[in-house]
Amino acid sequence: MVSFRLQGCQLSCERDGRELFRDLDFDVEGGQILRIEGPNGSGKTTLLKILSGQLHDFDGELRWGDQPIARVRDHYLANLLYLGHAPGVKASLTPLENLAWYQALAGVVGSEAARMTALERVGLGGFEDVPAAQLSAGQQRRVALARLELTPRPLWILDEPFTAIDKQGVEALERRLLAHARRGGSVILTTHHDLTPLGELRRIRLGEGGRHVIQ
């Protein structure tokens, strides 16, 4: 995997006159896992949306390699995979169709065999043709997680990826994150779940009044 570095420089953001974080500096390189922590409403999702290019109303700068992201936005977005807080699956489509739809959005044709393999890896073998509306919450989350198998991007930005996942699924996803980092990828995630120690896990804890702690 090519080496890369995402840097947040003096990031500050407020919502409704409340500072979520102020002068936040961090960097993430290939091989690292960064966990964003903090209580409900502290700004974790907001920060992930900023990092994934979905929100622009913040101060400070994001850099990709040695360039401001504003200058290399397309290249940056082509290197990241964002999975949001909600699974984002289309209820009327089957898991196979959902994956084909995600791939089409990403401009990838892909193959049905690869989509089947991805579904099997997340434990959905046998459910590939069931409309997503009939799947459980954890199974719908697994459809979204199958994108990690299908779309090879070095930087994963994952908002609460363990939500609704059972114990075995949690362990499998932890292994998946670690394997990605060991291959030189990196992961930025939020979770309220207690993670098994994951390789080189680093943390940013968001707190009251824009304060934060980096560990």
Ligand X SMILES: Nc1ncnc2c1ncn2[C@@H]1O[C@H](COP(=O)(O)OP(=O)(O)OP(=O)(O)O)[C@@H](O)[C@H]1O
CA distance 163 to 173: 11
Contacting range for ligand X; rule: CB under 6 A; set: 27-35, 39-47, 104-112, 193-201: 39-47
Strand, coil or helix: 62: strand
Query: Is 45 a residue that touches ligand X (CB under 6 A)?
Result: yes
- Which of these ranges, 4-12, 44-52, 59-67, 88-96, lies near ligand X under the rule CB under 6 A? 44-52
Q: Residue 20 in contact with residue 60, Cβ under 8 Å?
A: no
Binding mask 46-85 for ligand X (x = CB under 6 A): x---------------------------------------
- Rounded to the nearest whole angstrom, what is the least distance from the CB of residue 177 to ligand X in the complex? 19
Q: Which is nearer to ligand X, 46 or 103 (CB)?
A: 46
Query: Do 144 and 99 meet the contact criterion of CB atoms below 8 Å apart?
Result: no
> Taking the CB of residue 158, how many other CB atoms lie within 10 A of it?
22
Comparing C-alpha atoms, which of 88, 55, 63, 85 is closest to residue 10? 63
At closest approach, how far in Å is the CB of 41 from ligand X? 4
**First-to-last C-alpha distance (Å) of the chain:** 26
Q: Which is nearer to ligand X, 54 or 111 (CB)?
A: 54
Interface ranges with ligand X (CB under 6 A): 15-16, 20, 38, 40-46
